[in-house]
Chain A
């Protein structure tokens, strides 16, 4: 996270009474900084916040008027193209750019001297001696050209002659763990986590390609034996191994920038989830003051965790712009996007979960390996550590380096994988203990929101009609033919995290117009509209009355949009700025009327004067009384109210599937998703994000799979027809239920939803498949082949009960 929350504050505070919990009956007292507004009542009593609100930029998007970074066209703009390595591991011996430079359309050629995103050697002295960066994955950029048209750039790029010395490589997780496997790095290596999370920690031991294990926080050596002993004492233990595949983010707008280097500074139009991270990285690399790097992201076409920082493309585009004196556009094509722009690492997880007949979980042991290619951050133990209250927990998670493109934070890093294992194990243990799965959850999960979510979700999906595993009455001798239906449930755990680098300026002009400014970017969650709602609520106006400007580092800093923290981080700063602007506004109006400030108040978009003769001014009439053109206030996020313990976001999803036991095809027919995100700001957009989390989760569960050819190290499906993503025909009926869960943590008390919405989906689908057919699928994606294999209808390669012998 970019800005750690301070441990203690010295701010002068007052005590306020806040809503607390689910429902509206409980309250809690909190210390609140004096310049922050009084607590809001429950959403029902607010005018704008909590109401389904159309996006203020929806029309721009629906009409094609919205300009994305990839749409930017500047006078004299050049088009850049990368030349990437076809080899997964190689030393570049020579690069001949002469022919490319002779191409009449070419303006500059650049040979890369560094690549961003790969892990780096702790001791750079151990690097293989080489004039050029060592190639560590097929698709790693080596050189680039800038030319007057995209086609000229492509032609010139093809004329660059690179001589490689191929080196031994390994792209398979299991093979890379072997002692004699080709080494990805000739020494210990590590990578920093991005603002979207991920990363592999520091001070982690490394042997060969295996970097780890990392243990659960606070683990003591004796806990390992204690966990083994506790497992041995359990009445029932599930011991199973789960595997998940590599998933690419596949945002529809690829990674890229338009970089415009000038004497007086660098301007970059970036498709990013963090304008500040792009600015900071470019400023550091080019040794420029931050103030001379301006990053613009008015719109952007999806990120899902992979779009933080400048990226190799950003570095190259800025370099080419500096060389040529012209703006340079560099966006990855779809293949490059798959190869080098990030992915969700794969995993192999052994989970042992034990409980006793009284329905209590007693012990959990987790061992996980995963590969983020040349990156780190493949850990998947999070859900095992955080979802349930278990007295004895021991987790070990290791990154395994392979010669593949670096992983990146991807919508709840590690958690969909970890839940796929944990929530299947919970379902399985419940069966072994003879307890209903929801009852086992109730007995071991202390999260109050999830408890309510299970209750509401079970009622909506019709949990009571769930049949015993593999006993679909319609299917067996019934009318269903080869179709077997089943219901499954799984839960999410995520963390309420905030960036203190979250600021907003609210301006009220003499004509009554209102602006809200923040460097924050909207990656699709709808933060612009949330800002408008919050300002409108505070000023008694309508969201459409608020002009919201975002995506410009010239504005007050904005949080990174990752980790479900945008709304939670930013909206309190927005409300505080609007509140302070309102106070200044009223002070000026009162002054103009010759009255004390507390004689005027703003409500319902009008200024009311209490002093007899009482009268009312419209917002515009009042604004016209301002002495200067504008009154404004700027606020930054302040630390969370109350004692600082970690708050958790919940989320429970129920899936209903139909499995054809003759073809193995799984169809998800219905999903009921019950979620909490503190105080919901815009339920319309939250519902959209939940839909999206579920659909990405189903896509992950059933279809997506980045395949690398073990013989060549190359991706065999770097496109959007063979890399299969869920489409309209695979979209089930989705019912979203949103819970208001008041935490009394900030002036808006808003939480996030991006990550929780996708965490439990694959696990819920897996449990539903088990309920339908009575056999477990422990490997993603759950393809027809794997279903048939699990059913024993075709010989298998592993990943299901049929070949692993199932849980012991």
Chain B
């Protein structure tokens, strides 16, 4: 995510408000407070206290732990995790479909929990472990959910499939013995336009059984 801008972010805009001061202002709103423990606001906050240097809007160096490997990338503070994964790290299994958290096509795990990577700033990831569809199973192997998706034909065009698999695998990591209803809830945010849900349900229940039987393939 190279950026052509080199202007210093702390220079005040015409409104007399710098990006940093805006962020500090945002920090005291309710929504901002909820985010305060995350990277960007935290830094902006620290900066206002006379600490660290402001970052951005140009690209800044960041280290991400992705699929077990530390990756150094240059990212604009406004870049989402989905953008960085796809364009910066060429991990294009993660799909951006609605780009606003309505379809779960971009689902990845942060420390094992599924999140919409299109709603997650790369700078906010911090030390958390990012798992993408490419890293769901160790190299050269496939996850039982992936095996079951193929066996049950739980995919058609396949564009929703990576997000769907990440949601289902997250469910099974948490709940090895799910009901049909549990599976429906786990993928209730995952949109599939080909309408392949019935087989997603069957595949996930089947994968759960295979994993319980220790039959991880």
Q: Which residues of A are interface residues toward B (Cβ below 8 A)?
A: 54-55, 57-68, 70-71, 73, 103-105, 148-152, 250-253, 299-302, 304, 333-334, 523-526, 684-685, 687-689, 691-696, 699, 719-721, 725-729, 731, 733-734
Contacts of A299 in B (CB 8 A): 157-158
Q: Is the CB of B41 closer than 8 A to any CB of chain A?
A: no
If the complex has contacts A103-B4, A301-B157, are A59 and B87 also in contact, measured as CB distance less than 8 A?
no
Quick one: closest A residue to B100, CB to CB?
A: A719
CB distance from A369 to the nearest CB of B (A): 28
| A148 and B3 alpha carbons, distance in the complex (Å) | 8
Q: Are A688 and B97 in contact (CB under 8 A)?
A: no
Q: What are 19 pairs between A and B in contact, CB < 8 Å?
A: A58-B150, A62-B142, A150-B87, A252-B95, A252-B193, A301-B157, A302-B194, A334-B98, A523-B157, A525-B156, A685-B156, A687-B153, A692-B156, A696-B195, A719-B102, A725-B191, A725-B193, A727-B189, A734-B198
For the complex of A and B, list the 6 residue pairs with the smallest distance between their C-beta atoms, beginning with the closest: A64-B93, A695-B195, A301-B159, A61-B158, A692-B195, A524-B157
Could you mark each residue 95-129 of chain B with 1 if its beta carbon is under 8 Å from any beta carbon of chain A, else 0? 10111101101000000000000000000000000
Contact of A731 among B137, B160, B161, B184 (CB under 8 A): B184
| A728 and B199 alpha carbons, distance in the complex (Å) | 11
| A687 and B198 alpha carbons, distance in the complex (Å) | 10
| A299 and B93 alpha carbons, distance in the complex (Å) | 13
Could you mark each residue 52-88 of chain B with 1 if its beta carbon is under 8 Å from any beta carbon of chain A, else 0? 0000000000000000000000001011000100110
Contacts of B201 in A (CB 8 A): 728, 731
Interface hits, B139-195 → A, CB 8 Å: 142, 146, 149-151, 153, 155-162, 165, 183-185, 187-195
Q: Is the CB of B36 closer than 8 A to any CB of chain A?
A: no
Other A-B contacts than A63-B134, A70-B95, A727-B190, 16 sampled, CB-CB below 8 A, are: A55-B155, A58-B153, A63-B142, A68-B95, A71-B92, A103-B4, A150-B87, A251-B157, A252-B192, A685-B156, A692-B194, A699-B195, A719-B100, A720-B102, A727-B188, A731-B201
CB distance from B117 to the nearest CB of A (A): 13
Q: Is the CB of B14 closer than 8 A to any CB of chain A?
A: no
Q: Is the CB of B2 closer than 8 A to any CB of chain A?
A: yes
| A149 and B74 alpha carbons, distance in the complex (Å) | 13
Q: Is the CB of B1 closer than 8 A to any CB of chain A?
A: yes
Quick one: closest A residue to B83, CB to CB?
A: A150
Contacts of B1 in A (CB 8 A): 149, 151
CB distance from A659 to the nearest CB of B (A): 21
CB distance from A569 to the nearest CB of B (A): 19
Contact of B157 among A54, A302, A687 (CB under 8 A): A302
Q: Is the CB of B133 closer than 8 A to any CB of chain A?
A: yes
| A694 and B94 alpha carbons, distance in the complex (Å) | 27
Contacts of A148 in B (CB 8 A): 2, 4
| A720 and B190 alpha carbons, distance in the complex (Å) | 11
Contacts of B105 in A (CB 8 A): 252
| A334 and B191 alpha carbons, distance in the complex (Å) | 14
Contact of B93 among A58, A65, A70, A304 (CB under 8 A): A65
| A59 and B94 alpha carbons, distance in the complex (Å) | 15
Contacts of B136 in A (CB 8 A): 63
| A687 and B202 alpha carbons, distance in the complex (Å) | 14
A-B interface pairs (CB < 8 A), number: 185
CB distance from A99 to the nearest CB of B (A): 14
If the complex has contacts A64-B93, A252-B160, are A691 and B191 also in contact, measured as CB distance less than 8 A?
no
Contact of B3 among A57, A152, A731 (CB under 8 A): A152
| A65 and B195 alpha carbons, distance in the complex (Å) | 22
Quick one: closest B residue to A54, CB to CB?
A: B150
Contacts of A57 in B (CB 8 A): 158
| A286 and B197 alpha carbons, distance in the complex (Å) | 42
Contacts of B103 in A (CB 8 A): 252, 720
CB distance from B207 to the nearest CB of A (A): 11
Among A73, A151, A250, the most chain B Cβ lie within 10 Å of the Cβ of A151
If the complex has contacts A58-B150, A64-B92, A301-B157, are A726 and B97 also in contact, measured as CB distance less than 8 A?
no
Contacts of B5 in A (CB 8 A): 104
Q: Are A731 and B99 in contact (CB under 8 A)?
A: no
Q: Are A64 and B2 in contact (CB under 8 A)?
A: no
| A351 and B161 alpha carbons, distance in the complex (Å) | 42
Q: Is the CB of B44 closer than 8 A to any CB of chain A?
A: no
Contacts of B94 in A (CB 8 A): 64
Contacts of A66 in B (CB 8 A): 158
Q: Are B193 and A62 in contact (CB under 8 A)?
A: no
Contacts of A71 in B (CB 8 A): 86, 92
Q: Are A728 and B155 in contact (CB under 8 A)?
A: no
Quick one: closest B residue to A331, CB to CB?
A: B96
| A70 and B136 alpha carbons, distance in the complex (Å) | 22
CB distance from B122 to the nearest CB of A (A): 13
CB distance from A305 to the nearest CB of B (A): 12
If the complex has contacts A151-B76, A302-B194, A524-B194, are A58 and B100 also in contact, measured as CB distance less than 8 A?
no
If the complex has contacts A62-B165, A721-B102, are A524 and B158 also in contact, measured as CB distance less than 8 A?
yes
CB distance from B196 to the nearest CB of A (A): 6
Contacts of A62 in B (CB 8 A): 142, 146, 149-150, 155, 158, 161-162, 165
Contact of A105 among B4, B137, B183 (CB under 8 A): B4
Contacts of A334 in B (CB 8 A): 97-100
| A334 and B3 alpha carbons, distance in the complex (Å) | 24
Contact of B199 among A65, A70, A691, A725 (CB under 8 A): A691
If the complex has contacts A252-B160, A300-B157, A729-B184, are A333 and B195 also in contact, measured as CB distance less than 8 A?
no
CB distance from B74 to the nearest CB of A (A): 11
Quick one: closest B residue to A66, CB to CB?
A: B158
